Structure formats: structure tokens, C-alpha cells
Structure 1
Amino acid sequence: MIQKEKMVKLAVNGGISFGAKLNANQLAMITKYMNDNDELELTTFQQLYIEVPESKVEKVKEKFEEVGLSCYPVGNFVKSLRTCNFCKGSTEEGMPVAIELNKRIAGKPTPFTLRPAYTGCPIGCGEPLVNDIGVMKVRDGYNLYVGGKAKGMDAQVGTLLMEQLIPEKLYEVIEKVIDIYAEHGKKREPFFKFIHRFGLENLKQQIAG
């Protein structure tokens, strides 16, 4: 009996740009590694899930990256940054900051899937207030929210943790928040529950320390 090769699920998107878009070359590359009856799963976090044989994972990642596709692990990791459409422009709405933040945090292991979101203005198209970690650009600074929850009857808006951060401070604080969650969070403990249990003031003290 021939043993069927293990399949590995990859999360794929077109990176951070003007909206969640894929071009024809990227779509063609994705379908190259699909069989006729295979399906793509479109998530609410601007990602596509595709399953590939375990032996081909690295090759597929390499080929995807050649056409500008970004690949991320699926499971208990920091998701790629959900963003707005940067409708007022790359510089004005801080696209370089969003790209750098995503590069630093996406794919980090966490006790449970962690969903960060970014928006370039207070309109909030990237929905930062209802995700685990949310960043909102306000004038020349960046406001940071934690503990939002979009689903369920206990849905809630995140709490403002810090405001008017410069980019380097924003990266530093978010990386510390994720590290604290990774160290002190219980297995499969959602981030909003961790915030309630750990305490906002305790979190602030740990960040400052």
C-alpha cells in the first residue's frame, strides 16, 4: 500500500500594498500547485489557504515569493497584518511602517492564533479596534490598542494601550507585548482572555521593565 504524502497548509497573500489584491501572475502561480479538484480557502484575514505536499513546501514558498506572494505558517502564530487600503497614499497612511511591522511579527509562535490589524487613519478600515492588536495612525503618530474581539456575543473593542508612538517605539512595544503573551499565556488562551487575566496595568509594567 502506497502511503499518501502529508499535506501542509500555507497561508498566502499578496503582501501589504494598496488593498488585498492578487495579480494574474500570482494567481497563475498558485493554480500551478493545485489539482483540478483542489480548493482555496479565503479567510477573513486577507489570506488564502493552500495545501501542498510536505516535500514541496520550500520549493513552493520560493516560487511564490518570486512573484511577490508572501507565505505564512497556519496555526498558533501571529497572523500577517490585516491592513486598510491606504486610500490616501503610501506615505500619508504609513505603508512603510505597516510593512516593517508585518516583517517583524508575522509568523511568531503564540499560545493561540493572534490577529494584528493596521489602519492608516481614524476611519479604521483595517478594523484595528476589534482585533487582538490594533494600530491606528493618527496625525503623525501611531495609537496602539490591545484586546479587541470581533466575534461572538462577547465581542468587544480593544483598549488604548499607548498613543502617538513613533515607528521604532511602536515596533518595540508590540514585539514586547507578543513576547509577554508567548511567555505568560496559557496554551490555546485567546489574547483577549489573556489581557483580562494578566491585567492591563501588569502588561504596562512588564513593557516598561
Structure 2
Amino acid sequence: MTKKYIPMAVNGGIGFGAKLKPKQLAVLGKYLDEDTEIEFTTLQQLIVQIPEAELEEAQRTFDEVGLHYYKVGKYVKNLRTCNFCKGEEEEGMPVAKELNRRIAGQEVPFTLKPAYTGCPIGCGEPLINDIGVMKDKDTFELYIGGKSKGSDARTGKLVKSNLHPEELYELVERILDLYRENSKKRENFYRFVDRLGIENIKQEIHID
């Protein structure tokens, strides 16, 4: 009988760059056939194919060793981050972790890529992703509608600056709700932003 496989996006969680521990790699190998190919994406994820019959067991084992896993397809991807050159609190790591916890895995009309960086240098490339967050001193800036590829690549548009963490989380959730409720079928997020216009979006999510 032919095995059925389920694709999963796996990483070591939100931290100081994209890293995996030996015990995490060993666990991944337990569920992969010898000739299985593993894709490493620009979103700091490994795309692995897990046998459907072993999926629940694999997820429990991943939890035990600290591997994070996400659905593949039309979902909010995990937060792309920079390498965070200073300490956890100073570079806003707790906010990045909480934002990822709240939005990663949410179903959306088309694959959506969020990014975060802990300082204005922008190593996490927040300005060229669908949703970008940049820490500036003690507050955060939120950008939307960036595009990293193609001849029409461009930076995102500023939604609001001087945001405190709870304000940031709430605004991102409102934007995702607006996208789900008003997008056309399989409409990329940057096209959605272009079609509605940044000022209309600000009005819809109640920003002055």
C-alpha cells in the first residue's frame, strides 16, 4: 500500500537566527525515509514530508524537543526574523515570539509572509514582505504590502509607527481579518493592498 505523506513546515522557533539542535535533527530523521528530500526555504523553514499514519506521533515528538511546525499552503507563515545582534529584551524578542504565536498558521486567501526585525537596520527584511514589523527604540512600526521579487518589487507602506506591543498585535489581527473578508479569490496580499489603497485600509481598521 502506498504511503500518504503530509507536508509540514518545521523550524526551531523564533530566536536568534535560524538554528536547530542535534537532537532536533535526529528527531526529524526518525520520520523521514532515506531518499526523502528536505527543502530549506527563505522563511527559515524546513519543508518535510511526514507519513500520515505517523503525523500525530511526530507532532508530539517535535513538541518534546522544541521543534515548531506549521501547515503548508494558504496560511500565515511563521515570522521571518533577523539574527538579533543584541539581547532578547533589547531587540524585542518576546514581542516577535508573541506575534508569531498569534498569527502563524491562520488561514488566509493566499500564502502570507510576515517579517520582523529588532532594529532599524532591518536585517529581517520587514519592508519587502507582506507584513513587516520594525522595532524602533521602545516602540514598533508596522508596514504592509511589500514585495521582494519581480520587476515590480517594492517596499511596504507604513501603517502606523510608535506602536506598543498590544496595539501592534491588534492592528495585525484587524488587517488579517480585513484581508479575509474583502480579498478576491487567491489574491496576493500586496495586490489586495494596492486594490484597496493604504488610506482606505487605515480607515477600515480605524487608524486616524
Q: Kindly indicate whether residue 165 of structure 2 is the aligned counterpart of residue 163 of structure 1.
A: no
CA displacement 1:133-169 (0-9 Å, x = unmatched):
0000001110000000001111010011100100000
What is the deviation of 1:21? 0.2
Q: Provide the rounded CA distance (Å) in 1 between the counterparts of 2:45 and 2:29.
A: 15
Provide the secondary structure at the position in 2 that maps to 1:52. strand
What is the deviation of 1:39? 1.1
Q: Provide the rounded CA distance (Å) in 2 between the counterparts of 1:187 and 1:8.
A: 25
In the alignment, what sits opposite 1:176? 174
Q: 1:67 aligns with which of 61, 65, 78?
A: 65
CA displacement 1:62-117 (0-9 Å, x = unmatched):
11111000000000000000001111110111000000000000000001000000
In the alignment, what sits opposite 1:89? 87
Q: Kindly indicate whether residue 47 of structure 2 is the aligned counterpart of residue 14 of structure 1.
A: no
Q: Provide the rounded CA distance (Å) in 2 between the counterparts of 1:184 and 1:57.
A: 34
What is the deviation of 1:5? 3.0
What is the deviation of 1:55? 2.2
Provide the secondary structure at the position in 1 that maps to 2:205. helix
In the alignment, what sits opposite 1:98? 96
Provide the secondary structure at the position in 2 that maps to 1:143. strand
Q: Provide the rounded CA distance (Å) in 1 between the counterparts of 2:11 and 2:43.
A: 10
Q: Provide the rounded CA distance (Å) in 1 between the counterparts of 2:205 and 2:60.
A: 36
For the Cα contact (< 8 Å) 2:78–2:104, is it kept in 1? yes
In the alignment, what sits opposite 2:130? 132
Q: Which runs of 4+ in 1 moved over 4 A?
A: none
For the Cα contact (< 8 Å) 2:11–2:68, is it kept in 1? yes
TM-score by length of 1: 0.97
In the alignment, what sits opposite 2:21? 23
What is the deviation of 1:6? 2.0
Percent of paired sites with the same residue: 58
Q: Provide the rounded CA distance (Å) in 2 between the counterparts of 1:53 and 1:183.
A: 34
What is the deviation of 1:208? 1.0
Q: Provide the rounded CA distance (Å) in 2 between the counterparts of 1:132 and 1:208.
A: 20
Query: 1:43-62 to 2 correspondence within 5 Å?
Result: 43-62=41-60
Q: Which 5+ residue runs of structure 1 have no aligned equivalent?
A: none
